[in-house]
Amino acid sequence: MPSLPPARPRPAATVNAEIRALMLRSGGRLAAGDRARYVELIAEWAEAVRDAVRPAA
């Protein structure tokens, strides 16, 4: 079975929009399930930001 290529991370702005929507829906108070999703999104956002930074020449 052929392996799948690694998925490209979503842009930080896209993930940030999802974080904002989650916070708006929850009224700023996250339930346990929402908190788990929030933690996942923050990790994804941090990865996207790191990938966007280019090393200095």
pLDDT at 41: 98
pLDDT at 3: 65
Reading the block at residue 57, the tokens are 């020449």
Give pLDDT < 70 ranges for the chain. 1-6, 56-57
pTM of the model: 0.77
Report the domain count for the chain: 1
Residue 28 lies in a domain: yes
Residue 1 lies in a domain: no
Other C-beta atoms closer than 10 Å to the C-beta of 15 total 21
Q: By residue range, what is the domain housing residue 28?
A: 12-53
Q: What is the largest CA-CA distance in the chain?
A: 45
